[in-house]
Amino acid sequence: MVHPILGFGEQEVNPTGMIRLPLHFGDEAKAKTLEVDFLVVDVPTAYNVIPVQPTLYKVKAVTALYLLQL
């Protein structure tokens, strides 16, 4: 079940679904590829997929929206 998310100009957005994709982390010495779940949203932004929270925790990522990167 996918719940609405808040953001994108303080609006509630209903994800259109989820997709699982392989994502490669790290350089050659410490590289790792994980199957990552993403929420898919239909909004006019720089992003149209959002990694779900358990993935961010699992890879110990810190989001930095002002840099537009993870």
What residue segments make up the domains of the chain, in order of their start? 5-67
pLDDT digits (tens, 9 = 90+) for 4-58: 887 667 788 888 888 899 988 788 888 888 888 888 888 777 766 777 777 777 7
What whole-number distance in Å separates Cα of residue 37 and Cα of residue 27?
A: 22
pLDDT at 68: 61
Confidence (pLDDT) at 22: 93
- Tokens in use for 8? 């994108």
Sequence-ordered list of residues with C-beta below 8 angstroms from that of 56, at least 6 positions apart, any chain: 63, 70
pTM for the model: 0.62
Beta strands in 1-70 (DSSP E): 5-7, 11-13, 17-25, 32-40, 49-51
